[in-house]
Structure 1
Amino acid sequence: MKICIVSDFFVPHYQGGGERRYYEIAKRMVKNGHSVDVICMKISGVVDFEEIEGINIHHIGPEIKKPPERKSSDFIKFICSVFKWILTHSYDVIDAQTYAPLFPSFIGAKIKKTPIIATIHDVSTGGDDQWIQSSKTAAIVEKILARMPYNKIITVSNETKNSLIEYYRVKEDRVCVVYNGVDIKLIDSVQIDEKYKNTIIFVGRLAPHKHVNHLIKIMKSLKKEIADVKLLIVGTGVEKDNLTVLTKNYGLQDNVKFLENLDYIELITEMKKSNMLVLPSTREGFGMVLAEANACKIPVVAYASGGVVEVVKNGINGFLVEPEDLNSLEKHVKLLLNNDFESLKLGKNGYNIVKSNFNWDNITKDILNIYTDSGDFEW
């Protein structure tokens, strides 16, 4: 099978959850004898074509200097480039993720009579904090994209599936839930020579809906009781400057450290050294970093939003907190910092849950079956 995957970016140049997912399934598809082309945006300093573990990666369209930040003109240029690519190449199936990759892929696939799969990780819950930029336009685009007649929609949680059905009237039989996975073997191979003390880690885009500012706010209070408490913020995004200013205003420069441009092994190393991962996000289709943290045998604390509730079992592998309840967020973080036994127990439980439920090999088989079945769709 000749497969085309269309994504905004791709690893190793951008380490988002969607990019990591496509990488993990693509390399396994190649091992199973399939041909995989990945079409994504150019990033400054990256060559136009790469081959990584047999995956053919084509960087097209405008050159992005600081992903994921892009101008409106960048989106338009990329949409045009993807459309042209689809028209001039032939595939057995096209899998495109929201948002910019999906529209030109759909139109191009329809013209070429190629099955088109939409990978939709999450949908908004309303409010400007749900978007990185251009919130009003993005909300309208989401409504249009969600309702297009794709062969199938793949999403990463039942929560997102239910939202697509309820809010966008997508037919239930057209939505397939395929969870994200974790490479347990790779994570197990990462060794650490020390464990940090009283250290919280956040991993993700520094976007409004991630609410990293909530973490910094509770750090101000935590510091009064635990003087050496540390927060590692791993990621880049539009909120970076605001978060840096907030850190300085609270006098937390010695307690909060910003990290970026880590490769995957470095990221896993920092997770393993930390005592817990906290994800105070109000928009998550799945929350891959939660599963990765559990695979590192550390517990998690997260807002009970979106697909997070399908990854975190409250009191079993971490704690779920009502969104934007900073008092409860601080309470549960403090509980884990002050209770090594509880922290170790939840981390061990999390490891076993991830090992049983989030296996990339099984996920790849499920997705290939969806690709195969999609050929039965009539336009």
Structure 2
Amino acid sequence: MRIMIIKYSFWNYERFFKSNHPEYATIRNLISLNASHDFILIGQGRRYEHFRIGNTQIYNLGYSDGNKFSYLLYLFVKLLLPIFMRPSIILDMCVRDLIPTAFASRVLRAKLISLIGSEIWYELSFIPKPLKKIYKSLLRVAFHASNTILAISESVRKELIEDFAISPKKVIVYRYKVSEIFNPYVSKDLKKKLNPNGPIVLTVCRISPQKGLEYLIEAALILVQKFPNIKFVIKAYSSIPNYRRKLLKLINDHNLQRYFKIIEEFSSYEEIPKYMSAADVFVLPSISEGLGLVILEAMACGVPVIGSRMGGISDVIVNNYNGLLVQPRNVQDLANAIIAVLSNENLRCVLSNGALLTSIHAKQNELSSLLTKLIFT
């Protein structure tokens, strides 16, 4: 049997073999559990490349962010490649580009499993207004063409059922397994380097509009009055240039340069636990979030977490038990929550203990076993 797996980002040879990131670990486990079958992995990449590892062929199609012609070519190749390679099963991990995959699966009569890892309304926000209705209609057809849809959270499942009229029986909520590298015993030595004399407010994310980082910057204006030695650390694994420039301008306009440290040198996924353990509180002020895996990773390190009361974040955070929920886009609410955590040691202990208990269950999730069951039944 030939199984094709399509994802939004590129397949990196070294990451594929060594990374503890749950996406890579899940696919590795899936291939390992089904070693007698052929796998084809399709990703973006900055240039076209093809290599083979055992029973697995890997293609990066060379799509470049921001280049419309490159994106259209990527979609065209994404449509043709499944038809040419003729897989029996297609697993698509990118909702925004699902339409050509669904068409190809219909032509091939292949089983299609769609994995939805983000809120669909946010993905639709990237589509030009004149095309949005048409695109949403085509996306509805693509969802109905899927044999099974895996939704990252209950909120995404609800969106599929209510906005796209998908049968509840077709939609299954899945969770990635949190890696064992996230634990409360990771060295806290990095704190001495980042901010030895004051609290650290940490965010780990892609620098993109959905993360709502401008609200954290606005909240910082309130927080620096109460905590003069506070440091806001944003550990970014990638960024959208225009949005990044907007944030830097906002920081400069408010004279907050000494309070913010934006780290964009992302060498490996394995370095993130060191930042988590150095933090006094982890904050994710998103305006859209499928789940917010980083929240579960911070919890596994015993760090108190604060997140927006929306999307999948509300599935993970139980207010005043394992974290605090705040209203999205509400600067004062966000500032008050951070003040509460940094000022109250008892609250920090309660949230930390609740977070660790929550993370025990998160480390037991096993998506690769679920995928194996769906593929072969």
TM range (shorter): 0.7 to 0.9
The TM-score, its normalising length taken from structure 1, stands at 0.85
Give the counterpart letter for 2:181 in structure 1.
L
| Superposition pairs of residues 141-156 of structure 1, within 5 angstroms | 141-148=135-142, 149-156=145-152
The answer as to 2:244 corresponding to 1:254 is: no
Query: Given the superposition, is the C-alpha separation of residues 27 and 190 from structure 1 closer, same or farther in structure 2, using an over 3 Å criterion?
Result: farther
Of stretches 131-140 and 192-201 in structure 1, the one that deviates more from structure 2 is 131-140
Q: Deviations over 1:62-96 (max 9, x none)?
A: 3x2xxxx3222222111111122111213231111
Contact conserved, 1:130 with 1:209, CA < 8 A, in 2?
Answer: no
1:349 corresponds to which residue?
354
The answer as to 2:1 corresponding to 1:7 is: no
Query: Given the superposition, is the C-alpha separation of residues 291 and 134 from structure 1 closer, same or farther in structure 2, using an over 3 Å criterion?
Result: farther
Deviation at 1:289, TM superposition (A): 1.0
Match of 1:306, SS? coil
Q: Deviations over 1:267-289 (max 9, x none)?
A: 22212211121111121111111
Match of 1:186, SS? coil
| Superposition pairs of residues 81-100 of structure 1, within 5 angstroms | 81-100=77-96
Measured in 1, the distance between the counterparts of 2:262 and 2:134 equals: 34
1:234 corresponds to which residue?
235
Deviation at 1:38, TM superposition (A): 1.9
Contact conserved, 2:210 with 2:286, CA < 8 A, in 1?
Answer: yes
The answer as to 2:372 corresponding to 1:365 is: no
Match of 1:323, SS? coil
Which stretches in structure 1 are left out of the alignment for 5+ residues?
374-379
Query: Given the superposition, is the C-alpha separation of residues 246 and 80 from structure 1 closer, same or farther in structure 2, using an over 3 Å criterion?
Result: same
Deviation at 1:100, TM superposition (A): 4.5
Q: Deviations over 1:312-363 (max 9, x none)?
A: 1111110011222221111111111122342233123212212214434x22
Contact conserved, 2:223 with 2:335, CA < 8 A, in 1?
Answer: yes
Match of 2:59, SS? strand
Q: Deviations over 1:163-187 (max 9, x none)?
A: 111111111111111123211x222
2:181 corresponds to which residue?
186
The answer as to 2:322 corresponding to 1:299 is: no
2:323 corresponds to which residue?
318
Measured in 1, the distance between the counterparts of 2:376 and 2:9 equals: 25
Measured in 1, the distance between the counterparts of 2:299 and 2:110 equals: 39
Measured in 2, the distance between the counterparts of 1:103 and 1:345 equals: 45
Contact conserved, 2:304 with 2:355, CA < 8 A, in 1?
Answer: yes
Query: Given the superposition, is the C-alpha separation of residues 11 and 182 from structure 1 closer, same or farther in structure 2, using an over 3 Å criterion?
Result: farther
The TM-score, its normalising length taken from structure 2, stands at 0.86
The answer as to 2:274 corresponding to 1:278 is: no
Query: Given the superposition, is the C-alpha separation of residues 163 and 76 from structure 1 closer, same or farther in structure 2, using an over 3 Å criterion?
Result: same
1:80 corresponds to which residue?
76
Which of residues 21, 38, 41 is equivalent to 1:38?
41
Query: Given the superposition, is the C-alpha separation of residues 56 and 201 from structure 1 closer, same or farther in structure 2, using an over 3 Å criterion?
Result: farther
Contact conserved, 1:147 with 1:169, CA < 8 A, in 2?
Answer: no
Which of residues 264, 289, 292 is equivalent to 1:287?
292
Contact conserved, 1:4 with 1:93, CA < 8 A, in 2?
Answer: yes
1:201 corresponds to which residue?
202
1:161 corresponds to which residue?
157
Measured in 1, the distance between the counterparts of 2:126 and 2:151 equals: 20
2:211 corresponds to which residue?
210
- Among the aligned pairs, what percent are the same residue? 20
The answer as to 2:116 corresponding to 1:120 is: yes
1:58 corresponds to which residue?
59
| Count of aligned pairs between the two proteins | 359
Contact conserved, 1:131 with 1:207, CA < 8 A, in 2?
Answer: no
Measured in 1, the distance between the counterparts of 2:200 and 2:302 equals: 14
Query: Given the superposition, is the C-alpha separation of residues 340 and 134 from structure 1 closer, same or farther in structure 2, using an over 3 Å criterion?
Result: farther
Which stretches in structure 2 are left out of the alignment for 5+ residues?
none
Match of 1:31, SS? helix
Deviation at 1:134, TM superposition (A): 4.2
Give the counterpart letter for 1:49 in structure 2.
H
